[in-house]
Amino acid sequence: MERAHKAQKVFETLSQSRVDEVVSRMASAALRESPRLGMLAVEETGYGIPEDKNLKNSFVAKKVAEYIKPLRTMGIISEDAVRRITEIAVPMGVVAAIIPSTNPTSTAIFKCLISLKAGNGVVLSPHPAAARCIGESAKVCYEAALEGGAPEGIIGWMTIPTLDATQELMKHKKVAVILATGGAGLVKAAYSSGKPAYGVGPGNVPAYVDRSADIRKAVRDILTGKTFDHGTLCSSEQSIIVDEPVEAQVFEELQKHHAYFLNDEEVRKLESVAILHNQSLNPQIVGKSPLWIANKAGLVVPENTRVLVVRLTGVGREYPLSCEKLSPILSYYVVRNWREGCERCKQILAYGGMGHTLAIHCEDLEVIRQFGLEKPAFRICVNTPATHGSIGLSTSLAPSMTLGCGTYGNNITTDNITPLHLIQIKRLAWETSEVLPSWISSSVAAGQKDVYGAGAGSSGEPSAGASMSAIVEEYLASRGIKNPAGGMRAASAETVKSAAAGSSQPLKTGTGPELRARQAVEFVCEQDVRTALQARESIYINLKTIITPAARDLGTVHDVFVSV
């Protein structure tokens, strides 16, 4: 952490183009090593499928890299001439990145890319079961970063990870922000560390199939998402909820794609292996093949089985397999209509997936909208695999391996995390609406002389409830001055303006026929000066013209005023 902090202080001084070059080299190296890292992850953890690990690595090294490439994250990132605000990016510092065992290499690459893109350093804390493949992924990114000109130490990682070490890292005084991906206990620890943190909640993703859906595509999408990398992504489908009128078609399609439906006795055997006595998921089945799980449970299933399907009628502790399973085990529900399906989805999300992801397969726009309005999930994937849609692979969501679940999941954001979550923004804000001090209106109301030597009118009181512009209007009227614009901003662009004396610098003067023909205006505010500057016009004034201090300063600097 000390090395990364020192390196980051140098790295944050680099230009956007140099940072982009570093990140580009990292992405290219990760893409080149993607197959090897995917294989290494499966060999070390025993989770998932090498080809799918490779796809996840490639997704990060290619699609995420392409998405973040045009983002401005260093120095001035925007200038709004209308709002008169300039935004400047400021890196957070050093990111403490907690990496899980389920998606170790892809998450490590992802967090390295987005951290450095935002001008930060990063230190990775690997899951102990995946320390080698995570360390190798970090090494690939680090060596490429050095080749691109990044300072030594900008990426670091633990080689002997422990829970105590991870907690020590998260509390380190040089940590600026924590990116925590892992179990609920680890995410809670990140939020309790006293540091800003982005944590992600668990996903217990329901997939609803409406009577209006394209059944063939719906079933194919659900199985595509569920079987991808043996279900290790937290946004993979965990339950399928079927509208009763199309249940027979869904059942037939599932069997065509080699889904195996368990009977009651087989369900009990599976529960005894998949669920521990404390009702939590047995980590031994995570990311394993359906045949491996079936053999472990003493079940005999066809060799070509892609997913184990369990019929359920309820959700909760009495139905253990209604939880998030992170494996090719799929719960199966039948409902009478979309409203009942809507409630079932809510129950499933409440049992360990609040705020995460939901999939709906439907052609009825009104039903889709109702799901969007009512469901406590912040990614609702329509007619696409939830696994791929949620991370932005099959949708236009921001491509990411870290998915916020909002307050429903005890997270700070609902977004897919990007480099923009790892920068701070300072803003230069110029005045767009001039504020007159209260003592102007109060002195006028009291019949006193103000700093301009003016007093109140015959009434001595501004109108009750009057705005500042109305008070100034009344003040001008008390001196017998008519404001040609009917308000604080005295004249239109066509009307030549002027301002009161009082500047420490001499004003332009003249007595020629052209200047004598010009009529001095009676009141000038800062906006009048800006309008004149834009139109390349002068403002004509005399000793009776009233000028606000800001207008006088700006007009004098730009030599706008002409005394007539």
Question: What's the helix, strand, coil split of the chain in %, to 5?
Answer: 45, 20, 40
Answer yes or no: do 85 and 180 share one domain: yes
Q: Tell me the three state secondary structure of residue 443.
A: helix
Closest among 425, 419, 423, 421 to 26, alpha carbons compared = 419
The answer to whether position 414 is within a domain reads: no
Answer yes or no: do 471 and 350 share one domain: no
Residue 557: the pLDDT is 80
Measured distance between the N- and C-terminal CA atoms of the chain, rounded to whole angstroms: 68
Contact status, residue 133 vs residue 105, Cβ threshold 8 Å: yes
Residue 263, domain CATH: 3.40.309.10
Cβ contacts of 84 within 8 Å, gap of 6 or more: 429, 430, 431, 432
The answer to whether position 308 is within a domain reads: yes
Answer yes or no: do 373 and 332 share one domain: yes
Answer yes or no: do 152 and 270 share one domain: no
Given 404, 428, 452, which residue is the final one in a domain? 428
CA 443, 447, 451, 453: dihedral to nearest 10 degrees?
170
Q: At what angle do helices 131-147 and 104-117 cross, to 10 degrees?
A: 30
Answer yes or no: do 370 and 260 share one domain: yes
Answer yes or no: do 373 and 264 share one domain: yes
Overall domain count for the chain? 3
| 266 vs 272: CA distance, rounded Å | 10
The answer to whether position 12 is within a domain reads: yes
Answer yes or no: do 175 and 297 share one domain: no
The answer to whether position 400 is within a domain reads: no
Residue 119, domain CATH: 3.40.605.10
Answer yes or no: do 24 and 105 share one domain: yes
The answer to whether position 407 is within a domain reads: no
Answer yes or no: do 219 and 305 share one domain: yes
Range of the domain at 260: 205-389
Q: Token digits for 95?
A: 């990111």
Where do we find the tokens 């992600």? 200
The answer to whether position 325 is within a domain reads: yes
Answer yes or no: do 280 and 374 share one domain: yes
Q: How far is CA 278 from CA 272, 274, 283, 359, 410, in A?
A: 12, 12, 13, 29, 22
* pTM score: 0.79
Answer yes or no: do 223 and 95 share one domain: no
Catalytic residue among 112, 133, 141, 234: 234
Instruction: Report residues of the chain scoring pLDDT below 70.
Output: 440-517
The answer to whether position 401 is within a domain reads: no
Q: Which residues, listed in sequence order, are joined to residue 563 by a DSSP beta bridge?
A: 509, 541
The answer to whether position 402 is within a domain reads: no
Helix or strand run (H / E) with residue 252? helix 247-256
Answer yes or no: do 447 and 528 share one domain: yes
Q: Catalytic: 405?
A: no
